[in-house]
Structures are given as C-alpha cells and as structure tokens.
Structure 1
C-alpha cells in the first residue's frame, strides 16, 4: 500500500495534528521522556492504591478508571500517544494511511505471546474489532456502523480498516487506552460481559495477573516472556485496597505505597504530601484526557425534567467554592459542556455564575413544586471530597425547596445503579479524549439511552436537533463549518442542561523519588509500566 508522508493526517484535535501518519511509525524511545538514570535497575515491587476497588479487571468491558488503572498493565492496545499527543506503537509495529483517508493498514509486532503462551495474531485483532467491541461497546458499534466498511487481513500480522468515509478520530479511538486487543481463544463463543477472564485477565503486557483478594489487594507479577526483551524492570505491582482516605495518605507518607493519583488521597492532604522531601508532584501524564466533572441528571423524573429547574440547580451551586474549598484548588470551574482548553469549546458561551436569587426566580418561573418528590443523590464512594460535595449539594438545594437524600454505595453498586437509570442525581466525570464526538456525544445522543454504563445517556435526554448536530459534526471536515456546528451544539446543551458541568479536573500525581519513568505517555498512569523502575533500597 502506498504511503503519503505529506498528507494531512487524522488528529486528536486541531491543536495537535498527528503528523506523518502516512509514514510507518516505529518505536523510538527517544521520543519519550527518559530518566536521568542511565541504567534502570531491575527488581523491586511497586505498591499502588486501588481506589476505588475496581468492579472488573477487563477495561475493554468495564471502562471504569479504576479498572483501566489495574488492567492497563496486563492488557495492551494497538497504539498509544506520547505527551506531545503523537501516536506511538504498542501492539501495532507500524501503520499506513491511504491518501484518501479510507484505508488504515496496521502491521503487528512479531513474536508476541499471550500470558497463557498462545501467540498473538491478526485474528485476535480482527475478533476484537469485528466482534468483541461492537458487542460490548455501543459507542464502537455506532461509529463502526457509520464509518467502517470492513476490517480484514491480507497477510499474517497485518490488519486493514476499510472506511466508508474519512473519520479523523480513528487513531484517537484506537489509542485512547480503552480498547485493548482481546484474546480470541478465550472470548470467542462466550458471554463477553460474564467471561471469567474479566476477573483474571490474560493479556500481552509486561505484567501477569496473579491474585485478587477482595478488599485487600490485587497482585500482578513480572511477565518473564514479555515480547520486549529486558522489560519490565519491576518484579511485581501490587494495588492495595484502602477504603479510608486518611489511611491512604498515611500509607503513602510511610512509603508503604509509592504512588498516589489525584483522588487516591483526600484533596485536603495533597499540599502536605506534595511538600514531603522525598516526594515529587506532577500534572503530567494526562495530556490525552481532559477530565470534566458534572452533575448527571435523570431528566425523566419530575421536577428534573424541567430545564428551568436544572438551570436553577446550577445557579445554586457555588462552583468556585467546590473547586477551592472541597477539592482544594485541584481544578477550575467548567465553562461549558466541552473542556475550556478544547478548540471545539465556544469561549463566548453564556455562564452560570453562582446566583441563589436567580435560582429561586427560575424555580418560580417553572411553576413546579420541587419539594413534592424526594430527590435521591447517589454517591459512588469516590473519596472524601466527593462525599463532601454530595452533602454540600444537599444543603445548597434545600433553600430552593428540594428534599434531597444522599445515598452512598460502593463503586460497583454505583456503577450498576447508574447504568440501570436507578438514580435522580449523581456526580460523575469523563475524560474528553480530543474530539468531543468520541466521548461527550454519548452522554447526550438519543440512540445512547442505554443501560450499558454510567457513561451512556443514562439521564434519558432526547433532542432531535442535538442528534442532528452530533451527526453533522461527525460528517463535516475540519474547518470553520465544523467549528460553527460545534458552537451551535454546545449552546443548546448549555441552555437545556441535561447534564450540569461542574469543574475541570486536575490530576496531580504524587510519587516518591525512588520511582522512575512513571509519566512517559499522555495516559501514563493507566499504561503498562514496562519501563518503570525503583532505586535500590537504602542499606
């Protein structure tokens, strides 16, 4: 297949054009941020926190952040992105894109084995994207139905995506870290969602699943047959289940765990922990993911089916207070349904400043008795800050006449209840992966009113004009017209507020200085940790 090195290539967003996709991309360690230490040390155990304890260990089925954090060391995808948002090979050794943007051909890495000894082949990739993901991920099914004509193989270790029409976000879709290649021999002919290997994953990554003791730990061991010779450096990775935030902070302070993600410790402890003499704090490693926290609203249920009531709720919430006092400055107030730094966000979008008087006026205009029904605010045990946010929301809404009951559940129960639409209000967040079509769209589209996950349209919002605009932005080439369509779309969503955007999340990662090569990609913490190593313990 001819390559076209000077053709404009697909991208994550207009600010980050993925250059040279017509040329086969080969692994190059120099593109990634290296360590100051010339010789990485082999050995040692890296201790992390599983917060919350994941509902599954197969993030191809359950796209929960805690699941991806663990299973990202076991399972691998075709590609990833470095911190400059340039695509980098993983299981795909290289790829070519045709000049018309309709054909993507991937060459797979040779001599890769699954952890059970079976060889990785093109059949695993074909099964993953022709069968597995269209079944378990309705987003993929929808995109593939609209844009993908076929996926086939013309030679061993080669897979070709044939598109019906150009789809710029394809590499973002494949490289988001959420769609690892699946072992065909373990999943074919099974109930994918109930497959036992979702709890004991078999992958191609540098670490092998060893043990999951519920409520205590998840242990991963070094893969002695990893396809990258000399890697990984670590002997094991252990994820400790520590439900209490202060206990997680104490474990980190004692160096019982060496890494804390944003949210692993209570936000009130971050400043103190960051100041410890042997600790490094960094915001790197989240370049691909723009985190957006929001109040998810079940728009089926009165009085939440009234847009004026939803607007009143957002006016009543002091989002500056939420960011600065509940999350201790680890974020910024959301400016709309799309991330403020996104080139697709309209900077002229009207804002919802904190205004209790305005909120009360909107309730009066709605003509709704907001206290006639008790509202259940479902809290998903994400940590102390989120619990305080739920209680704060209850207090703020009381002067408007709402009767709010906060219901707290474990992460797995929260996931299931929200997926089943069994909530009135709940706080949730997504990672906007470049183009909003890949993530935000599924919170709003009518065809995604599905009982699949909390990241579908569980609120039941349906607007034919919004559906039309989502379809148009997907079919429109980059340029002023697409920008205009996104502007129209964001204004409708901002006015009707089926979801109330609260704040854009920052993700400070804290780690002891004995840990090296931790933050090397745009989704670092959820990656495979093949290059991570530890200094030798002090004598």
Structure 2
C-alpha cells in the first residue's frame, strides 16, 4: 500500500466513530447562503482517473461522463424518482399504443461553434453515429421501426413493438446528441475534431493539459437564458489518493465524486465544517460492482469454477473492511434499489469448503505447492481501494488453491484490453440506467458480444433462455408478467455466475459548502451544471 500509516490512522478513526454510533455517511452540513443564485466564480473538481477522451458518443467511461456531461446534452434528463424532465426536448408525447414517441425540440439552440442545432442532429445521432459507436444506444435504437424528422424542431420515433423502458433512454450518456455537421460522412473514431469536443451544453471545451487539468468555460450563447451561473470549471487530475483528500481539505478543489476519495477517508472529511457529503445523484445509474470473468479462458469457462470464486470471497469483508461500509452485498445482476429486483435467487455465502468441493469436482487437484489453477487478474485502474480489492481477491482465492497473478495498466489501457477480450479476470462496475432492459441486458445478451466495444458482453456469456427472457421482458407491458420474466432471468443468471457480483455500490459526493445546486437530478455529477453556483467567500 502506498500510505500504510495514513490507512491505519484512518481505520482507527473509522472504527472509533463506528463504536460511538456515528454514521459513516453523515448528512450534509447545513449551509447558510443566499437563496438567489449568484453569477460568476470558478468550480474546481477532481477528475480521477483522467478520462481517455471527451467525445461522449465514443466513450462512456465514468470520468468521461462527468466532464463531457457539461459539454453534451440529450433530449431528456431525470428527476430523483426517475421521471423524465425536459432537456433538448422541451416536450414529448407517447401514442396510446405505446409505439410512437414525438419529441418537440427546444428553440434557439446552437452548437458551440455557432451552427444551429436541429432535428437533423438528432436523426444523425440516433440512426448513424450512436448505432455504430455506442452499444447501449444501439440496443435502444434497434427497437425503432422508423426515426423521422418532419421539421427542424420535431423528431418522431416509431417502435417495432412496445418497449416500456424506452423513455428512460434519453439521458446524456445513453443518447448524447452529436453534431451532424462535424461527423457526418467521416471516420467517427479518427475524426480530427475528437480533440476539441463541440456540444450544446452550458460549458465549452477550452484546454486540456494532460496529466494536470481540463478547463471548461461558460457558453455565452447557452439556450437556457441567464445560465450557466459559473464562469468556468477546472477538472483537476490528481492521481494520488492522499493528495485528493488533502486538496479537499485545504480548498484546492471544491468537489469529489464516485471513487475520488478512498472510502477510509470519507468519514474524516465529512466531519470538516467547510465540506458536505451529498448521497443523492446516483439513482439513475445504481452501480453494481463485480469480478468480470473471461469465459473463453479455461477453467473460467466452467460455471463450477466461477461459483467457486464466489464461495471463496467474503463479500461482507469486502464491504466493511475495503469499502468501509459504502455499499450492500450484491445478490445478482439487478441492484436491489431498482425495479424488478428479486431476492429469491441462489446464494453464495462465504464458504471456502464449498469452493474447494467444486474445484475437486472439476478434477483440479492441487500440485506440490497447493495450486489447482492459475489465473491472471487485471484490476480496474481507478485508485488505491481497487488495488486493495485485487490483493484481497488474490489472498482469498489462494486459500482454495487458485493462484492469482496481478497485472497492471492505466485506465485507457484497461478499457482497451477488456474491450478486446485481452484479460482473464478483471474488476468492473456497470450502471443499471433505470431499467434492466437498458442497463442490465447489455452485459448478458449473447447478441451483444462485440469485440472492441467496452461495456458489452465482454465475458462471452451465452444462454439462449436468458436471451429469450430478456427479449420477452423488454416488450412486456404487463408489470406483473414483466416481473416474472425478470425473476426467472435472475435465477438463471445467478446459477450460471457469468460474473462474480460483489457490491451494490454507494458513492459519496463531497462538496465545499459554498457549492450549491450541483446535485439536482438523478444524473448527479454527470449533469450539465447549468444550475450550479458558488456563494461568495
């Protein structure tokens, strides 16, 4: 570990506070500030790791979403209860038969280079760009019979069959609207404009000093009058975990999110008078963490080996000692806080003896060193806690005779290797996106095995009955029948263990008390920040 003394001190503080009954996630500090937003000011925020790029249509990794969510927009955003609200679409209608969706676009919207935003951009994004580059958007738009633009301010999407979750698919990371005048007729992945993103959002790209910061500036022609309030935003790249915590402490930065702050430091920072912890803003994504397992590599292709991995891991230890209580032990592919979760699935409680029995059943006898099998483990390159998780997995699997060889890479390298199936076991967390047919099915459908595309079925998992049930559930309009389909799905998938589910993650947003209205929707820190403002010192 890079900072063992700091870790032990933080662990002692966390333990002491736990013994006195202090909540790990303290409520936000009371903020005495003006009721009326103030124009001006610079927001400084951590971004960790540094995003591989800022073109949201080409990359949907978490750091890209947080920065590019200020640059790009989609048709809708979502309240904390996941109900839709306007963004680039000011209003919409759904036909009585649930097949036709008509979106009416905002007026007076321009791209950052001054070109007008019209329905042509939406049509291009939904029919050409995103189906080629974005697996989640591809799956969503494949359900359309037709996508038309009767005029510059109207988009009409007619589905092949009912799809109850369709209206949940229009936030900025699922269907970012891309500029047709820049990308149409080009090689999207190698377009020279990929270094200078052009969106419709309240902030424009100004500068990226690799390894140091990304600077966004106010869009003076933003379509929401009087917004944004901020002059600019600096996303500071701070690779070291201790330095990120110190930057919040001393006011160098005003915001952290996701895994920016190592779990063992959260409670200490939450107690500081100039900082507040906000737990809202992750309702739409409902993140789920797992060990991803490449089924193409033996013995990982045998479900008994994958089941043995789950039995060998003490996931309560992972939650309590590595993530310091920030999460819930996962039971399967659907997060318990989202729709259609079913707890009645096979359980894999910590039981190393059952793991050993399964390995024996497979004929994996220990050699003279007690090793039954050797696997390579590529940890997610998102900070110190992920490395600690990898070290624990190595230790736990070693106890049942599975030797783990740890590999290393950076965030960009991790994404490239996993997308191209160049791994054996890795850590990952994916978002649920409000409905299983959008955020869950993409991981397990055999039709979504796409080499070179991240966050697809990169494991190579295939189960025809799972495919069938996902398709049936997606179009089922009866809520009870839909629940039944998803319940069957969860039982089948949990039996197969295509991935080893670890935690339903809970992320803290830590903000300076001078920062207001940063977390205003279920999209959280990935929102546009058009409403965010900073009170004077």
Same fold (TM over 0.5): yes
Which residue matches 2:119? 122
Aligned counterparts of 1:444 and 1:143: Cα–Cα separation in 2:
15
Aligned counterparts of 1:489 and 1:84: Cα–Cα separation in 2:
25
Offset of residue 350 of structure 1: 2.2
Residue in structure 2 matching 1:99, options 96, 100, 113: 96
* 1:355-434 mapped onto 2 (5 Å cutoff): 355-369=351-365, 371=371, 374-434=374-434
Which residue matches 2:56? 59
Which residue matches 1:506? 506
Aligned counterparts of 1:142 and 1:253: Cα–Cα separation in 2:
43
Offset of residue 36 of structure 1: 6.3
Offset of residue 437 of structure 1: 1.4
Which residue matches 1:523? 523
Which residue matches 1:223? 219
- 3-state DSSP of counterpart to 1:62: coil
1:200 corresponds to 2:193: no
- 3-state DSSP of counterpart to 1:154: strand
Offset of residue 262 of structure 1: 3.0
Check the 8 A contact 1:374/1:405 in 2, yes or no.
yes
Which residue matches 1:37? 34
Check the 8 A contact 1:263/1:383 in 2, yes or no.
yes
Aligned counterparts of 2:57 and 2:344: Cα–Cα separation in 1:
37
* 1:174-213 mapped onto 2 (5 Å cutoff): 174-175=170-171, 177-213=173-209
Check the 8 A contact 2:287/2:429 in 1, yes or no.
yes
Aligned counterparts of 1:281 and 1:495: Cα–Cα separation in 2:
38
Check the 8 A contact 2:258/2:508 in 1, yes or no.
yes
Which residue matches 2:465? 465
Aligned counterparts of 1:515 and 1:296: Cα–Cα separation in 2:
37
Distance 1:478 1:342, change over 3 A: farther
* 1:286-325 mapped onto 2 (5 Å cutoff): 286-325=282-321
Aligned length: 503
- 3-state DSSP of counterpart to 2:467: helix
Which is worse superposed, 347-356 or 471-480? 471-480
Which is worse superposed, 287-296 or 360-369? 360-369
Aligned counterparts of 1:519 and 1:528: Cα–Cα separation in 2:
10
Offset of residue 177 of structure 1: 3.5
TM-score (normalised: structure 2): 0.91
TM-score (normalised: structure 1): 0.91
Which residue matches 2:28? none
Structure 2 alignment gaps of length 5 or more: 1-30
Check the 8 A contact 1:80/1:177 in 2, yes or no.
no
1:86 corresponds to 2:83: yes
Which is worse superposed, 420-429 or 434-443? 434-443
Which is worse superposed, 449-458 or 259-268? 449-458
Which residue matches 1:7? none
Offset of residue 155 of structure 1: 2.1
Residue in structure 2 matching 1:169, options 153, 165, 168: 165
Structure 1 alignment gaps of length 5 or more: 1-33
Aligned counterparts of 1:395 and 1:380: Cα–Cα separation in 2:
17
Check the 8 A contact 1:326/1:389 in 2, yes or no.
yes
- What per-residue deviation string (whole Å, max 9, x for no partner) do you get for residues 445-488 of structure 1? 11111123331111111111211111221232233222211111
- 3-state DSSP of counterpart to 1:135: helix
Which residue matches 1:13? none
Offset of residue 369 of structure 1: 4.9
Distance 1:59 1:393, change over 3 A: same
Check the 8 A contact 2:264/2:323 in 1, yes or no.
yes
Aligned counterparts of 2:186 and 2:282: Cα–Cα separation in 1:
34
Offset of residue 294 of structure 1: 0.6
Which is worse superposed, 318-327 or 77-86? 77-86
Offset of residue 519 of structure 1: 0.9
Aligned counterparts of 2:284 and 2:105: Cα–Cα separation in 1:
23
Offset of residue 429 of structure 1: 0.4
Which residue matches 2:480? 480
Backbone CA RMSD of aligned residues: 1.6
Check the 8 A contact 1:91/1:108 in 2, yes or no.
yes
Which residue matches 1:133? 130
- 3-state DSSP of counterpart to 1:467: helix
Which is worse superposed, 284-293 or 66-75? 284-293
- 3-state DSSP of counterpart to 1:271: helix
Aligned counterparts of 2:431 and 2:256: Cα–Cα separation in 1:
19
1:444 corresponds to 2:441: no
Aligned counterparts of 1:452 and 1:99: Cα–Cα separation in 2:
40
Aligned counterparts of 1:281 and 1:104: Cα–Cα separation in 2:
38
Check the 8 A contact 1:97/1:103 in 2, yes or no.
yes
Which residue matches 1:328? 324
Aligned counterparts of 2:348 and 2:144: Cα–Cα separation in 1:
40
Aligned counterparts of 2:355 and 2:69: Cα–Cα separation in 1:
44
Aligned counterparts of 1:141 and 1:274: Cα–Cα separation in 2:
40
Check the 8 A contact 1:433/1:439 in 2, yes or no.
yes
Aligned counterparts of 2:173 and 2:374: Cα–Cα separation in 1:
39
- What per-residue deviation string (whole Å, max 9, x for no partner) do you get for residues 254-311 of structure 1? 1100011131011110010011011111111111121100110001111111111111
Offset of residue 143 of structure 1: 3.7
Offset of residue 176 of structure 1: 5.8
